Amino acid sequence: MGNPVLVEVLRGGLVESRHRGAVMVLDADGAAVLALGDVARPVYPRSAVKPLQALPLLESGAAERYGFGDQEIALACASHGGEPAHVEVASRMLARAGLDAGALECGAHWPSHQPSSQALARSGGAPSALHNNCSGKHAGFVCVACAAGADHHGYVKAEHLVQREMRGALEGLTGAGLSADQCGIDGCSIPTWAVPLDKLAHAFARFGTGRGLGPERVKAAARIRAACAAQPYFVAGTGRFCTEIMKLFGARVLAKTGAEGVFCGALPEQGIGIALKCDDGASRASEVAMAAIIARFLPMSEEERHAFDRFLRPSLRNWNGIEVGGLRPTQAVIPGDRRETRDP
């Protein structure tokens, strides 16, 4: 019983750890392409829906009003590493609305990008809300409020205009009724509503293709996809999975990670949306599972397949740089994939 094992972690030829989860792949008409595990159970999408949460920024005219380009729009979709360029763009977004970091209500944390964190410490500095991985999304939230002439204070609360807009966008795209008793508070203090994976995948199929959406939303979704494809560095950061995948495949893949093992995305040319969650919340596994789904459904050249292998079967190295093992998707995710090691 339970969800299937999606990803295995190997060491010395044995499977050391195992990650279970559920995966849904749907087309824009809502037809199932692949369903693994319990895809009807509501899961908190966390940051994986940030590209959907950027829709009101475009649809309200706020992005145009403040002169946002690809970098700002990509950062509004980001779980970024708090690198200097990320901080700079977040700061610029707020400045366009006549505000600064003091307007952000996401809380502060050290940059997840280690060299940036160490450089900040070396300089005697301390992290601000601009270093929070969600600062671009929050800067976008503040701008949505300001462009609407609303008070931005308390924009993280469920009852604020901004979060009502977010909820509306999510309900519209997913077709799910979002209920208060299936709502948690996210790491950055905004509401996160639980949505089943099949409905999340449908939302991303619509978002990736525009199928079934109104003309305003079709345009906004295309703008957001184009911004992420043009500036993938601003969606995550140096060496990060989402950034590297979109650098490799451009507009052919939209990929967005979420905390606790969630991944969502779309393959616009194939007309499909993807939503998955590893039961245990591990990002290392959700990345490999997402890579496996991309490998299974995205046509790619030999060269691309070669470059992609380090995401599909990442190796693990120890502190001396010795390769001690690696991760790989199971046959549940990629049937017929060659298995090179024993299961004890």
Residues contributing to the site for a copy of itself (CB under 8 A): 1-2, 5, 9, 11-14, 16-20, 41-44, 105-110, 114, 117-119, 121-122, 124, 132, 181-189, 192, 194, 260-261, 278-282, 285, 318-322, 324-325, 344
Indicate the residue among 17 and 238 with the shorter CB distance to a copy of itself.
Answer: 17
Map residue 21 onto helix, strand or coil: strand
- Least distance from C-beta 44 to a copy of itself, angstroms? 6
Indicate the residue among 106 and 161 with the shorter CB distance to a copy of itself.
Answer: 106
Indicate the residue among 11 and 219 with the shorter CB distance to a copy of itself.
Answer: 11
Residue pair 129/104 in contact (Cβ under 8 Å)? The answer is yes
Indicate the residue among 232 and 258 with the shorter CB distance to a copy of itself.
Answer: 258
Taking phi over 0 as left and psi of -120 to 50 as alpha, with beta for the rest, 111 belongs to beta
Chain-centroid distance of CA 69 in Å reads 20
Q: What are the backbone dihedrals phi and psi of residue 278, each rounded to the nearest 5 degrees, phi first?
A: -85, 130
Indicate the residue among 123 and 301 with the shorter CB distance to a copy of itself.
Answer: 123
Instruction: Return all residues near 156 (Cβ < 8 A) that are at least 6 apart.
Output: 105, 106, 138, 141, 163, 188, 189, 190
Helix (H) or strand (E) holding 243: helix 241-249
Instruction: Return all residues near 338 (Cβ < 8 A) that are at least 6 apart.
Output: none
- Least distance from C-beta 169 to a copy of itself, angstroms? 20
Indicate the residue among 89 and 188 with the shorter CB distance to a copy of itself.
Answer: 188
- Least distance from C-beta 77 to a copy of itself, angstroms? 19
Indicate the residue among 4 and 271 with the shorter CB distance to a copy of itself.
Answer: 4
110-114 long-range contacts, CB within 8 A, separation 24+: 110/82, 111/81, 111/82, 111/83, 112/81, 112/82, 112/237, 113/81, 113/82, 113/83, 113/237, 113/238
- Least distance from C-beta 41 to a copy of itself, angstroms? 6
- Least distance from C-beta 283 to a copy of itself, angstroms? 11
Residue pair 325/12 in contact (Cβ under 8 Å)? The answer is yes
Structure tokens that stand for 141 in this block: 């939230």
- Least distance from C-beta 122 to a copy of itself, angstroms? 5
Indicate the residue among 96 and 109 with the shorter CB distance to a copy of itself.
Answer: 109
- Least distance from C-beta 216 to a copy of itself, angstroms? 31
Helix (H) or strand (E) holding 201: helix 197-209
CA gap 204, 185 in Å, rounded: 22
- Least distance from C-beta 9 to a copy of itself, angstroms? 6
